[in-house]
Amino acid sequence: MLTNYPFEPDKPLDLTCIKCGRCMRSCPGQIILGDFNIDPRGCKSYLTQKKGELSDKELSIIAKTNLVFGCDVCQDVCPHNQNIEQTKIAEFRTDLVHKLDYNELSSMSNKDFSRRYGSHAFSWRGKKILLRNLLGGR
């Protein structure tokens, strides 16, 4: 972040990976390797945002969880992220989409999709990608 605004820096976090392996075991795409390097080509978050057709293997990764866009499984299981305070930022807590219906989404015009979901992070990819991801989960 670049700024010319003077501010007092906070203390850097000293949390480092404890190599418990929870992220490796939980990753839908099994992309976190033994040395904790990552092969992003099988990352569910990447695949749910990738344009175009997906292979059967890629679709099977998407089908491993109920998420049709993004993935935070590794973050959810990390011991450093347990018992943390919920964000106070309202935009992260309100107007959440818990479920998308394939039939409803497919019958929407692009204009209706933008009107209804345009404020959500997944909307930039468009409904075509979401429909593909929903089918991949079937």
98, part of any domain = yes
Under the banding of pLDDT at 50, 70 and 90, the label for residue 58 is: very high
User: How do residues 85-129 score in pLDDT, each as one tens digit?
Assistant: 888 888 888 888 989 999 999 999 999 999 999 999 899 999 999
User: Is the predicted pLDDT of residue 137 greater than 70, yes or no?
Assistant: no
| Portion of the chain with pLDDT greater than 90, in percent | 60
130's CB contacts (< 8 A; 6+ apart) are: 68, 69, 100, 105, 122
**Do the beta carbons of residue 86 and residue 106 sit within 8 Å?**
no
Q: With respect to residue 11, please indicate whether it lies within any of the assigned structural domains.
A: no
Domain membership flag for residue 106: yes
Q: In this structure, is residue 12 part of a structural domain?
A: no
Write out the H or E segment, with its range, that includes residue 75: helix 73-77
- Classify 32 as helix, strand or coil: strand
Range of the domain at 53: 22-136
Mean pLDDT over residues 47-59, rounded? 93
Can you give the pLDDT at residue 4?
A: 87
Q: Is residue 52 part of a domain?
A: yes
Question: For the chain, how far is it from start to end, CA to CA, in angstroms?
Answer: 41
Residue 38 DSSP SS3? strand
Asked if residue 15 is part of any domain, the answer here is no
pLDDT of residue 14: 73
Q: Please state the domain count of the chain.
A: 1
User: Rounded to an integer, what distance in angstroms lies between the CA atom of residue 112 and that of residue 109?
Assistant: 5
| Residue pLDDT, tens place only, 8-27 | 888 877 778 899 999 999 99
Q: pLDDT category, 72, cuts 50, 70, 90?
A: very high
Is the model's pLDDT at 138 over the cut of 70?
no
Q: How confident is the model at residue 6 (pLDDT cuts 50, 70, 90)?
A: confident
